[in-house]
């Protein structure tokens, strides 16, 4: 099948590459010339495990190409995926300017029947807006061409994007036309080996499904974060509680790890956008508002703990202190820093007068765009510990799970670790002489 994917970011590039891997001819489009030039030379603009090899192979085999020429890509393709960003607008609603601008461009350049697929996460009703935008452009040109608009939200996770796309738990197709649904089914059939869950539904329900999924996951994380705070106050161990409740098949173990709050390019903006959608219908979605508020507070928990343990009072309670940070990206196996809890934590530490040094296996380049030279960086996780007053763990990269504790103890001024991801066993840390402060595991600090 001939496909174009417009927007070559985390979703577009992965989707386009995986569609090429299953034998389709795919053109990936982007407005970012540097990104496209790089991709043509095999330079992958994001860190995503396994992506580079797939891109190179499919380019070599002639199934995958890159261009900034949207008109050419649309003319060449039957299925046109829109995978551009939908960042939060000033009022929290999803900003649809990029999606609608692509829709207008498709309308300007299409020359026959096209299937236009909303792959970006977009609020209920967006497919209608896309339809209107395309139709207006066709009218302007006096072109009577048929097209169909499909909602096909993406559920991949950064860090495991290729696997998620190749072996999805389910694919959701929102489509009102039988013929188009058959084409979409054909396109996705190679990915239906793990589960044959290709769910076809009406367009609005498909649009809602994506937001409902992310809002549910954000709520689950936030619920456990709140239980963790209560555990700290009551002397209970949240990890034991997790074992206890996760074993209930109605609850399950996933997304019950307490931490420093959810971040990333999806949960924060999608929770906000769904709350905004509700508001527009005069519906007070009180649960979602509470999730958002609780998550903003959760992002401050680690810096509050650091202040409580090391602060000297005054306007700059951490003046003269150095905090070493392990982990900057919003989660492991990605370089994505969008809405990362590390940003809130580090900004607060800096406000409190601390000097901050940071390590991350992949996100330092992105972090430099945010913090510049206000903090220092190292690609060696131990270098930043020398004479630091404490180590704070923000992202659960694998290299932090089993580190050389003796070395850590020798490098730090004192054996003090704040663990925002509960990576270690409190008893073992105690035996090794560390003062260890995780989330929800050993009482109030
Ligand atoms: P991204 O910012 O990584 O990529 C978007 C790309 O679109 C950029 O490269 C940008 O240059 C390009 N672009 C913008 N306007 C364009 C235009 N007019 N023509 C061509 N290209 C254009 O975004 P992303 O993380 O890939 O997210 C894309 C969408 O997918 C969002 O709606 C997001 O919510 C959703 N989504 C993201 C994830 C994720 O994990 N990142 C998962 C599921 C769904």
Closest ligand 1 atom, residue 122 Cα:
32
> Which amino acids are annotated as binding site for NAD(+), given as ranges?
30, 35, 86, 121, 158, 269, 338
The residues spanned by each domain of the chain are 2-201, 211-291, 297-437
What pLDDT does 442 receive? 73
Q: 11-20, 187-196, 242-251, 390-399: lowest mean pLDDT where?
A: 187-196
Residue 362 makes CB contacts below 8 A (sequence gap 6+) with 47, 329, 333, 334, 335
Q: Show the tokens assigned to 118.
A: 């909303």
Separation CA 117–CA 12 (nearest Å): 12
- Mean pLDDT, all residues of the chain: 96
Mutate to test the pocket of ligand 1, among 84, 161, 217, 336 (most ligand atoms within 8 A of CB): 84
Would the CB of 32 count as within 6 Å of ligand 1? yes
Q: Are 131 and 150 spatial neighbours (Cβ–Cβ below 8 Å)?
A: no
Sign of CA dihedral 406, 407, 408, 413: positive
Would the CB of 163 count as within 6 Å of ligand 1? no
| CA neighbor of 273 nearest in space, from 103, 92, 51 | 92
CATH hierarchy code of domain 2-201: 3.40.50.720
ipTM for this prediction: 0.99
Neighbours of 50 (CB within 10 A): 14
> Which amino acids are annotated as binding site for substrate, given as ranges?
155-158, 210, 255-259, 263, 331
Would the CB of 6 count as within 6 Å of ligand 1? yes
3-state secondary structure the chain: CEEEEECCCHHHHHHHHHHHHCCCEEEEECCCHHHHHHHHCCCCCCCCCCHHHHHHHHHHCCCEEEECCHHHHHHHCCEEEECCCCCECCCCCECCHHHHHHHHHHHHHCCCCEEEEECCCCCCCHHHHHHHHHHHHHHHHCCCCCEEEEECCCCCCCCCHHHHHHCCCCEEEECCCHHHHHHHHHHHHHHCCCCCCEEEECHHHHHHHHHHHHHHHHHHHHHHHHHHHHHHHHCCCHHHHHHHHHCCCCCCCCCCCCCCCCCCCCHHHHHHHHHHHHHHCCCCCHHHHHHHHHHHHHCCHHHHHHHHHHCCCCCCCCCCCEEEEECCCCCCCCCCCCCCHHHHHHHHHHHCCCEEEEECCCCHHHHHHHHHHHCEEECCCCHHHCCCCEEEECCCCHHHCCCCHHHHHHHCCCCEEEECCCCCCHHHHHHCCCEEECCCCCCCC
Superfamily of domain 297-437: NAD(P)-binding Rossmann-like Domain (3.40.50.720)
Do the domains spanning 2-201 and 211-291 agree at the CATH topology level?
no
Cα–Cα distances in Å, from 195 out to 168, 171, 246? 7, 10, 23
Mutate to test the pocket of ligand 1, among 83, 330, 333 (most ligand atoms within 8 A of CB): 83
| CA neighbor of 58 nearest in space, from 100, 22, 86, 92 | 22
Whether 18 is catalytic? no
What pLDDT does 193 receive? 83
Q: Show the tokens assigned to 165.
A: 């796309």
Would the CB of 323 count as within 6 Å of ligand 1? no
Closest ligand 1 atom, residue 119 Cα:
30
Cα 119 to middle of ligand 1, angstroms? 9
Q: Show the tokens assigned to 385.
A: 């510990």
Would the CB of 82 count as within 6 Å of ligand 1? no
Cα 197 to middle of ligand 1, angstroms? 25
18, 28, 59, 266: the active-site residue: 266
Mutate to test the pocket of ligand 1, among 5, 6, 7 (most ligand atoms within 8 A of CB): 7
- pLDDT(444) > 90: no
- pLDDT confidence bin for 412, thresholds 50/70/90: very high
What pLDDT does 38 receive? 98
Closest ligand 1 atom, residue 46 Cα:
3
211-291: CATH, from 3.40.50.1460, 1.10.630.10, 1.10.1040.10, 3.30.720.200: 1.10.1040.10
Separation CA 55–CA 39 (nearest Å): 9
What pLDDT does 443 receive? 55
Half-sphere exposure of 398 (CA within 13 A, CB side): 3
Buried b / exposed e across 90-113, counting CB within 10 Å, b at 16+? eebbbbbebbbebbebbbbbbeee
Residue found by looking up tokens 């996760």 in the block: 246
Write out pLDDT tens, residues 125-141: 999 999 999 999 999 99
- pLDDT(445) > 50: no
- pLDDT(242) > 90: yes
Write out pLDDT tens, residues 426-437: 999 999 999 999
Would the CB of 156 count as within 6 Å of ligand 1? yes
Percent of the chain with pLDDT over 70: 99
Cα–Cα distances in Å, from 287 out to 44, 272, 412? 39, 12, 42
Q: Show the tokens assigned to 127.
A: 């497919």
Return phi, psi of residue 25, to 5°: -95, 115
Mean pLDDT of 382-411: 98
Write out pLDDT tens, residues 60-118: 999 999 999 999 999 999 999 999 999 999 999 999 999 999 999 999 999 999 999 99
CA dihedral 213, 210, 274, 249 (to 10 degrees): -10
Return phi, psi of residue 402, to 5°: -135, 60
Write out pLDDT tens, residues 152-204: 999 999 999 999 999 999 999 999 999 999 999 999 999 998 778 999 999 99
| CA neighbor of 418 nearest in space, from 332, 325, 313, 295 | 325
Residue 333 makes CB contacts below 8 A (sequence gap 6+) with 47, 49, 158, 159, 160, 362, 397
Cα–Cα distances in Å, from 256 out to 259, 394, 402, 444? 9, 17, 22, 21
Would the CB of 8 count as within 6 Å of ligand 1? yes
């Amino acid at each position: 099948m001939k496909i174009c994917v417009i927007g070559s970011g985390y979703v577009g590039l992965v989707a386009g590459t995986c569609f090429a891997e299953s034998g389709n001819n795919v053109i990936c489009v982007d407005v970012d010339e540097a990104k496209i030039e790089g991709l043509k030379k095999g330079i992958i603009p994001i860190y995503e495990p396994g992506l580079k090899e797939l891109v190179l192979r499919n380019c070599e085999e002639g199934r995958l190409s890159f261009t900034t020429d949207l008109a050419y890509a649309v003319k060449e393709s039957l299925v046109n995926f829109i995978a551009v960003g939908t960042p939060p607008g000033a009022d929290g609603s999803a900003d649809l300017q990029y999606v609608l601008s692509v829709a207008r461009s498709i309308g300007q350049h299409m020359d026959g029947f096209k299937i236009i697929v909303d792959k970006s996460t977009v609020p209920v009703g967006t497919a209608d807006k896309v339809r209107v935008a395309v139709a207006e452009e066709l009218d302007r040109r006096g072109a009577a061409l048929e097209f169909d608009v499909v909602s096909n939200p993406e559920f991949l996770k950064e860090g495991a994007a290729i696997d998620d796309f190749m072996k999805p738990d389910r694919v959701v197709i929102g489509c009102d036309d039988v013929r188009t649904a058959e084409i979409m089914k054909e396109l996705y059939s190679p990915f239906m080996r793990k589960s044959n869950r290709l769910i076809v539904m009406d367009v609005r329900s498909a649009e809602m499904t994506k937001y409902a999924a992310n809002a549910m996951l954000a709520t689950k994380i936030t619920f456990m974060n709140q239980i963790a705070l209560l555990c700290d106050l009551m002397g209970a161990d949240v990890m034991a509680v997790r074992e206890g409740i996760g074993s209930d098949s109605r609850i399950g173990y996933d997304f019950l790890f307490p931490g420093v709050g959810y971040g990333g390019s999806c949960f924060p903006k999608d929770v906000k956008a769904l709350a905004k959608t509700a508001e527009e219908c005069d519906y007070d979605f009180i649960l979602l508002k509470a999730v958002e508020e609780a998550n903003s507070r959760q992002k401050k928990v680690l810096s509050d703990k650091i202040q409580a343990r090391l602060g000297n009072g005054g306007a700059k309670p951490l003046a003269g202190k150095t905090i070493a940070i392990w982990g900057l990206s919003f989660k492991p196996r990605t370089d994505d820093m969008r809405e990362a809890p590390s940003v809130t934590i580090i900004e607060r530490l800096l406000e409190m007068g601390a000097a901050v040094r940071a390590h991350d296996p992949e996100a330092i380049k992105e972090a430099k765009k945010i913090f510049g030279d206000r903090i220092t960086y190292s690609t060696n996780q131990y270098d930043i510990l020398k004479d630091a007053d404490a180590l704070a763990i923000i992202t659960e990269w694998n290299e932090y799970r089993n580190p050389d504790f003796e070395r850590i103890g020798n490098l730090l001024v004192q054996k003090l670790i704040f663990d925002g991801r509960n990576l270690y066993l409190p008893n073992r840390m105690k035996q090794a002489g560390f003062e260890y402060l995780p989330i929800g595991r050993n009482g109030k600090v």
